[in-house]
Amino acid sequence: MAAFLLLPSRPAATSRRLRRRPGRPLAALVPAVLLTLAMLLGAGGAATAHDELTGSNPAEGATVDVLPPSLELGFTSVPSGIGAQIQVLDESGADWADGPAEIVDRSATQPLRPGAPAGEYTVNWRVVSADSHPIEGSFAFTTQEGGATAPDTASTAGPLDVQDDQTQQAGVSDFPWSIVLMIAALVAIAVALAVTARKRLGAGK
């Protein structure tokens, strides 16, 4: 009699498990895609943080001899030169700011007119931060003596309640579209990989 060697056949369940192996690369890719999305969202949140005022010269609540030739504001980041407004008002409401503010690095410098009287001064400021959002604030300081000469005219102005067109436009364009586009691209790649993996699974059956 001839001897026959019977090889055990693989169970159907084992065969199905082997056919499903092409889907494993997709499962390994999903955590990487989620991690990338989390990093992008975190970077977007950090990028949209508003700048803050770090100090001023004269400082808030300080008492100086006379009004200096200029007032300086310091910020945590470089503000935009578009739409910067700084008022330096005396007790009568006259604005002693002389021309537009100058932005250099993280500082905004406002030239001041000579001949200012002694007393308390209120500073109202508004700048456009690095994330394109307008930020504003107010503080006061005091001078002990008046200037040597009085100015020819003194303009009276109210609080900074009117934004110019450029500041308004900057506030409109602050949405992080670049991050949205990157997220959309990653989602599209994940969908394409999922479709490819399903086609491979269907072909292997």
Residues 6+ apart with CB under 8 A from 183: 37, 40, 41
Say how far apart CA 101 and CA 81 lie, in whole Å: 8
Centre a 10 Å sphere on the Cβ of residue 182 and count the other Cβ atoms it contains: 16
Q: What is the pLDDT of residue 37?
A: 59
CATH number of 53-171: 2.60.40.1220
Q: What is the pLDDT of residue 158?
A: 54
Q: What is the pLDDT of residue 74?
A: 95
Q: Where are the domains of the chain?
A: 53-171, 175-205
Closest CA to 101 of 91, 93, 112: 112
- Identify the three-state secondary structure at position 182: helix
Closest CA to 125 of 109, 113, 114: 109
Ordered DSSP codes for 21-34:
GGGHHHHHHHHHHH
Q: What is the pLDDT of residue 198?
A: 76
Percentages helix, strand, coil for the chain, rounded to the nearest 5?
A: 35, 30, 40
Q: What is the pLDDT of residue 154?
A: 46
Q: What is the pLDDT of residue 169?
A: 44
Predicted confidence pLDDT, tens digits, the chain (205 residues): 444 445 555 555 554 554 555 445 555 555 565 566 556 555 444 444 668 899 999 999 999 999 999 999 999 998 887 889 999 999 999 999 999 999 999 999 999 999 999 999 999 999 998 888 899 999 999 999 987 444 444 445 555 544 444 444 444 444 455 666 677 777 778 777 877 777 777 666 6
The separation between CA 99 and the C-alpha centre of its own chain, rounded to angstroms, equals: 28
Q: What is the pLDDT of residue 29?
A: 57
- Axis crossing angle, helix 177-204 with helix 24-47, rounded to the nearest 10: 180
